[in-house]
Amino acid sequence: MEKQDGARYRLAEGLKTLVRSEPLDKITVKQITEAAGVSRQTFYRCFLDKYDLVNWYFERLVEQSFQEMGVSLTLREGLLNKFRFIKAEQSFFACAFGSDDANSLMRYDYEYIYRFYSDIITRKTAAPLDSDTAFLLEMYCRGSIEMTARWAVGGMKRSPEQIVELLIESMPARLESLLRDLHPEA
């Protein structure tokens, strides 16, 4: 597994180099493998396609901050870590969030955060999400992902701190009350 992780990180580094000069949708697997110095077979052993690579890399960057959320990090701190990671890899994520592919980072990020918040709410309430809460959560997650993508693609003019404050401020009251213990004010 460590060998495969090493190949995955080499492929991510190769892709990060390529997105500095070309849009993600135009980059080929062949270009990625050449930039990473690995075979095409190795690529497909690790990933389904280039979007799967992007999603894997994104998950590596943010999973620790989200896993720590509610344990040792507040919601604000976890989101701030996520946005700082995105900012540190600005060219990569501007390109990744700009893709419209069906396997895009926007779709992956939505599914990831929806599942993450849903799991927190389900554990806290000891019940499945009711349909109204599920609706609010879907609306909030879709909106926050859209704004994250706009921020990334638009040059990240606001600081990570400003984006996080606006995302928390825009959270519907019902969700805020369910996630209150993840806020520093709690």
Residues 129 and 102 in one domain: yes
List CB contacts of 100: < 8 A, sequence separation 6 or more. 25
Number of domains in the chain: 2
User: Full-prediction pTM beyond 0.85?
Assistant: no
Residues 128 and 178 in one domain: yes
The structure tokens listed for 51 are: 């979007």
Residue in the block written with tokens 């077979």? 41
107: in domain:
yes
User: Do 42 and 14 form a contact (C-beta atoms < 8 A)?
Assistant: no
Burial class from Cβ neighbours inside 10 Å (0-12, 13-18, 19+) for residue 186 reads: exposed
What tens-digit pLDDT sequence spans the chain (186 residues)?
Answer: 566 778 999 999 999 999 989 888 899 999 999 999 999 999 999 999 999 999 898 888 776 656 655 555 677 888 888 899 889 888 888 888 888 776 788 888 898 889 988 988 998 899 999 999 999 999 999 999 999 999 999 999 999 999 999 999 999 999 988 886 654 433
User: Do 118 and 137 form a contact (C-beta atoms < 8 A)?
Assistant: yes
CATH of the domain at 11: 1.10.10.60
53: in domain:
no
Residue 101: which domain range?
62-182
Residues 29 and 116 in one domain: no
Give the model's pLDDT for residue 184: 41
